[in-house]
Chain A
Amino acid sequence: MLGYLIEKEFKLAFRDAIIPRITLVMPLVIMLVMPLVADMEMKSINICIADSDRSGYSARLTGKIAASPRFVLAGLPATYREAMSSIEAGAADMILEIPFEFERSLASRHTAHVTISANSTDAVRGGMGSSYLTGILNDFARELHEERSPAVGMSAAPAVTVQNMFNLRLDYKTLMIPALMVMLLTLMCGFLPALSIVGEKESGTIEQMNVTPVGKFTFIFAKLIPFWVIGFVTLFIAMTVAALLYGLVPAGSLAVICLLAAIYILAMSGMGLMISNYSNTMQQAMLIMFFFMMIMLMMSGLFTPVSSMPQWAQAVTVIDPLKYFIDAMRLVYLKGSSLSQLGRETAALLVFAAVFNGWAIWSYKKRK
């Protein structure tokens, strides 16, 4: 009986006008476009340097900033007021103000003040710009210090060394791609099963099924299988694109990824089926699905780290299946974690799969 139902689901899925195409197109588009657009690295920040000192040191600092690939010198206005008007006009993002007697202060008191002003209407750009600039200023300060007291060595300036591990080039794409794969699976395997059952409700075929001896477990299980296959096709396309285009291959084992993905797809499909049992129309199912998807995506740590969320939000992320799979994918891809190191994530995903599918079977009523 199960065999006939699975056969039917596959035929219906492949004959659908949209499903086979979206299975191929969606991973390609998401992997080709998203890593480039969902990039938090800032390049070409426009900076105005208002240099009131006009000294050797200030010229050297200006040159150092201009040489950085992060910054584009948008102008060298004489006054801060002038610089401000170029921010207002949108020509500049930041101002560095070098005060009069900058060089003298450095020479006599070994310290000097500069002011950084950043347009933070785009908070990310403002924040990142300030921190890049602070980095350059620290670097500049250390250079000066070393020049003046080479014999004393590390007397005053605190030297901080940062060594990045697992993502050596601090490449944002490396962090985003494994998470984008999770997003992809979520979209494909969450929406399609939900629409599949509601579609049968709308066309009336579900009632025909309900008067047959098909058990609800069998019916739901037959629905899950095709989406499982579709999920894996999507995942493999995405992984191939990541390897060919971005040279990103998992540091850990492929088997671990497949196992976790298998559990995750099951969990997401279960959630989709569960929602479809409570919806009578496609619109209802889509709306409810979007509601949960938005929250789950935003709270998953896909774009912003979970650790920077308020305490209550961090508590909520405990019930976000996306979070666990994104964590696990990043760990396997970047750090090469093995299954034994991913015990927490695996266990959580298994619980979600069991709860969602159990709920889906329980809430599917053959008889009212």
Chain B
Amino acid sequence: MKTGDTSIRVRDLTKRFGTFTAVDRICFDVKEGEIFGFLGANGAGKTTAMRILCGLSKPTSGEGTVAGCDIADAEQIKRRIGYMSQKFSLYENLKVWENIRLFAGIYGISAKETARRTDEMLERIGFAHGKNALVKSLPLGWKQKLAFSTAIFHHPKIVFLDEPTGGVDPVTRRQFWELICEASERGVTVFVTTHYMDEAEYCHRVSIMVDGRIEALDTPQNLRAKYQANSMDEVFRQLAGKAKRMENCKK
């Protein structure tokens, strides 16, 4: 892990939908090359916060920089980041190499360079034989590994992963995290949301969101010590149990 400059810096970021405050004055910093786990129960505001950082959503108030660009300047941020959403989002009717060619082309990588890097990348993840397969014919595990590799293909400074391993089997999840660690070692900042607490243990630092606010932010070891828990799973349950949002809805 290379630690260096600040990659993401967020101050008092808030997003309201009408009277509902999805993200409530959150503040945090993420260092370059760090794997930053962004945890929280369903509806805690993780995806909303992440969408703001990716330039998909405008914050109601607050400020921040992503990869050195102000969050108001979404189009500049988009040149410097990669993103993998909850929904699988490669084109199902394109072949593996065609998807890569499309996204690489969008970021201005030359066709020749793309072809070279494609072979290299597929070799690395052990999927050279699948180059000409239509994406819709692949099993979910491969789709997710491919989506991640495509998201970092243009060498972004930061990659945002929104629940990347949902529905993936444990073996593939393990392989997926190996890819994440490799990327981090190359200096890519990884910003990841997940519901799997074993995955949280792989993160360098973890934040836990409850009701739109960040309740805890530290390394997994420190969090376990602080909440006197044996695992991140216990830490999460202690904190997420405090959520008031759903109780308010019931009223």
Contact = CB atoms under 8 A, between A and B. Distances in A.
B85 A204 contact: yes
A4 B75 CA distance: 19
B54 A212 contact: no
B56 A368 contact: yes
A204 B85 CA distance: 8
Given A1-B106, A8-B94, A212-B107, A204 B89 contact: yes
B103 A212 contact: yes
Contact of B102 (A8, A15, A203, A207): A8
A366 B108 CA distance: 19
A163 interface: no
A11 B85 contact: no
A169 interface: no
A208 B89 contact: yes
A149 interface: no
A205 B89 CA distance: 5
B90 interface: yes
Interface stretch (B6-14, B76-84, B182-190, B233-241): B76-84
7 contacts: A4-B101, A205-B91, A207-B87, A208-B89, A211-B83, A212-B107, A367-B56
A332 to B, nearest CB: 38
Nearest to B91: A205
B188 to A, nearest CB: 16
Nearest to A214: B106
B91 A12 contact: yes
B98 A208 contact: no
Q: Which 4 A-B pairs have the closest CB atoms?
A: A4-B105, A204-B87, A208-B89, A211-B83
A14 to B, nearest CB: 9
A210 interface: yes
Given A12-B93, A368-B58, A211 B102 contact: no
A201 to B, nearest CB: 10
Contacts of A297: none
A3 B107 CA distance: 12
A368 B51 CA distance: 10
B91 A8 contact: yes
Interface residues of A, number: 23
A208 B94 contact: no
Interface in B93-126: 93-94, 98, 101-103, 105-108
A328 B58 CA distance: 46
B107 A213 contact: yes
Contacts of B88: 204
B42 interface: no
Interface residues of B, number: 28
B92 interface: yes
Contacts of A213: 75, 78-79, 106-107
A contacts with B: majority SS: helix
B132 interface: no
B87 A211 contact: no
B64 interface: no
Contacts of A4: 101-102, 105-106
A367 B91 contact: no
Nearest to A368: B57
B62 interface: no
Interface string A189-219: 0000000000000011101101111100000
A192 to B, nearest CB: 15
Interface in B164-201: none
B55 interface: yes
Most chain B CB atoms below 10 A, which of A211, A213, A214: A211
A16 interface: yes
Contacts of A214: 106
A204 B107 CA distance: 19
B41 interface: no
Contacts of A203: 87, 89, 92
Given A207-B89, A208-B85, A367 B79 contact: no
A212 B55 CA distance: 10
Nearest to B58: A367
B55 A367 contact: yes
Most chain A CB atoms below 10 A, which of B81, B87, B101: B87
Given A1-B108, A211-B81, A213-B79, A11 B93 contact: yes
A213 B58 CA distance: 16
Interface in B9-61: 54-58
A29 B57 CA distance: 46
A5 interface: yes
Contacts of A205: 89-91
Nearest to B114: A4
B140 interface: no
A211 B54 contact: yes
B74 interface: yes
A171 interface: no
